[in-house]
Amino acid sequence: MSEQHYSVVTPVGQKPRDDVTLAARPETLDGKRVAEVWDYMFYGDSAFPLLRDELRQRYPDVEIVEYSHFGNIHGPDENEVVAALPDELRRRHIDAVVLGIGN
């Protein structure tokens, strides 16, 4: 029996940019405002309520702003919704985002 060799390829793609600094993550979500942002695809309407329940169990003082307040980030108005999102998150004093993208 001959010895077989396999190539291993990582599923993680190349970073498109190295000059982007990510924001620091909060140590806890207690006392924080968390926004749900969704592309209105693939059962987010089922998944987000489960996530809300879990977050509230883990962090009793978390405040969740539901996806319906931000609009559909994928659809006929996506360019306007996405362009307005940074200001909307700041206006609502959002500390963290749960982003739901299904495709």
Indicate whether 62 belongs to any domain: yes
Per-residue pLDDT at 42 exceeds 70: yes
Could you tell me if residue 61 is inside a domain?
A: yes
Beta-strand ranges (E) seen in 10-94 are 33-38, 63-65
The model carries a pTM of 0.78
47-94: per-residue pLDDT in tens? 999 999 999 999 999 999 999 999 999 999 999 999 999 999 999 999
3 assigned to some structural domain:
no
> For residue 103, is pLDDT > 70?
no
In a domain, 86, yes or no: yes
Does the pLDDT at position 2 exceed 90?
A: no
As given in the structure block, the two tokens for residue 14 are 């190349």
Question: pLDDT tens digits, residue range 8-20?
Answer: 777 777 777 788 8
57 domain residue, yes or no:
yes
The domain total for the chain is: 1
For residue 86, give the 3-state DSSP assignment.
Answer: helix
Range of the domain at 88: 33-100
Within-domain flag for 12: no
